[in-house]
Amino acid sequence: MADLPLIEPSLADLRREIDRIDAEMHALLMERGTIIDRLIAVKKTQDSGSAFRPGREAAMMRVLAERHHGLLPFDTVESIWRVIISTFTYVQAPYTVHADVSVGDAPMRDSARFHFGFTVPYVTHQDAASVIAAVAQAAGDLGIFALAPMQAPNAWWQGLIGAQSPKIIARLPFVERSNHPASTPVFVISKPLADAAVRERIVYAAHAKGWTDTLVPKLEAAAVSVEGFAADGQDQTALLMSAPEALNPAALLALFASLGVALSDTTEVGSHAARFHLA
């Protein structure tokens, strides 16, 4: 008996398949919404401030990047998931994103819209101090700051010092790559997170005597990233830097001393997930 010929699907068949998939995705999103509604009831998130969970989000983005393949660009996949996560977070506990646009509005707006979507309100400020003040006064708002250029006009991060002051909770983008559509490196701050902070990288504010930016490569070789520095007095420089959790302030003091720099006033001002690079 001869094999029956294969029947190629028609254009109408393929479109019906796409419609079926679209309907299933919509149904799953609505189902996710019902679970979030139950989550709100269990956690009473709306009474406890921000629902932002930066460690969980960073882990989700890494999983997406590692398993993705096929025709669809990862930029699209990441942006869809960022909108889903950020919008459902907003549904749990409404928040506003405050942006320091002193480096320009366009890169900050791109970053905010890519990572938080259009449902979350976006408010601009002309300096970092205003962003920190807005986050400090709100129940669960977020603030974002661009990390470039490294040499800052002022040590804005000193506004994060203090137990009750806002703290750095994330570094964006979660998945870094050379052609990222919102590639500006950004720190995210919120009021201190009691149980959701990820501590793969600890961020410190400090003062240094004998500082020169030629030391940046040597520090990077020791897994210390200098995120910003600013003149602070005639003989010292204010530093913002991140390091692995294992590299505590005492170890940092010894490392800088070996490079001829006297480090002082080293204070933790937040933490974030380790950077993840997509080839």
**pLDDT digits (tens), the chain, 279 positions:** 567 667 788 999 999 999 999 999 999 999 999 998 888 888 765 554 567 889 999 999 999 999 999 999 999 999 999 999 999 999 888 999 999 999 899 999 999 999 999 999 999 999 999 999 999 999 899 999 998 778 888 999 999 999 999 999 999 999 999 899 999 999 999 999 877 688 999 999 999 999 999 999 999 999 999 999 999 877 899 999 999 999 999 999 999 999 999 999 999 999 999 999 997
pLDDT score recorded for residue 45: 55
Distance between CA atoms of 279 and 174, rounded to whole angstroms? 14
Does residue 194 lie in a domain region?
yes
Distance between CA atoms of 187 and 270, rounded to whole angstroms? 10
Does residue 128 lie in a domain region?
yes
Does residue 32 lie in a domain region?
yes
Closest CA to 63 of 73, 78, 52, 76: 78
Residues 173 and 221 in one domain: no
Side chain identity at residue 221, one-letter code:
A
- For residue 256, what are its two tokens? 């800088």
pLDDT score recorded for residue 199: 92
Separation in Å, CA 5 to CA 2, 8, 117: 9, 9, 48
Residues 61 and 139 in one domain: yes
Cα–chain center distance at 89 = 14
Residues 192 and 209 in one domain: no
pLDDT score recorded for residue 6: 73
Distance between CA atoms of 128 and 155, rounded to whole angstroms? 9
Does residue 7 lie in a domain region?
no
Residues 212 and 182 in one domain: no
Residues 80 and 205 in one domain: no
Distance between CA atoms of 200 and 210, rounded to whole angstroms? 28
- Tokens 């890519």 locate to 114
Residues 39 and 73 in one domain: yes
Residues 84 and 175 in one domain: yes
Q: Which one of 152, 172, 198 terminates a domain?
A: 198
Distance between CA atoms of 219 and 224, rounded to whole angstroms? 5
Domain count, the chain: 2
Q: Which one of 167, 182, 198 terminates a domain?
A: 198
**CATH code of residue 211:** 3.30.70
Name the E strands within the chain: 97-100, 122-125, 142-146, 167-172, 175-176, 186-190, 201-209, 225-231, 237-244, 262-272, 276-277
Q: Which one of 179, 198, 217 terminates a domain?
A: 198
- For residue 163, what are its two tokens? 């137990």
Residues 74 and 182 in one domain: yes
Residues 232 and 185 in one domain: no
Does residue 278 lie in a domain region?
no
The DSSP code sequence of 236-275 is -EEEEEEEETTS-HHHHHHHHHHTT-EEEEEEEEEEEPPP
Does residue 279 lie in a domain region?
no
Residues 115 and 172 in one domain: yes
pLDDT score recorded for residue 2: 62
3-state secondary structure of 180: coil
> Residues 6 or more apart from 40 whose CB is under 8 A from it?
46, 91, 92
Residues 177 and 98 in one domain: yes
Structural domain boundaries enclosing 63: 26-198
Does residue 17 lie in a domain region?
no
Q: Please, which residues bridge with residue 151 across strands?
A: 229
CB 114 within 8 A of CB 97: no
Q: Please, which residues bridge with residue 187 across strands?
A: 145, 171
Q: Alpha-carbon dihedral of residues 62, 94, 196, 133, nearest 10 degrees?
A: 110
Separation in Å, CA 31 to CA 3, 96, 231, 267: 44, 25, 53, 44
Separation in Å, CA 202 to CA 161, 174, 233, 245, 270: 14, 16, 25, 6, 6
Residues 86 and 163 in one domain: yes
Closest CA to 178 of 277, 49, 55, 77: 277
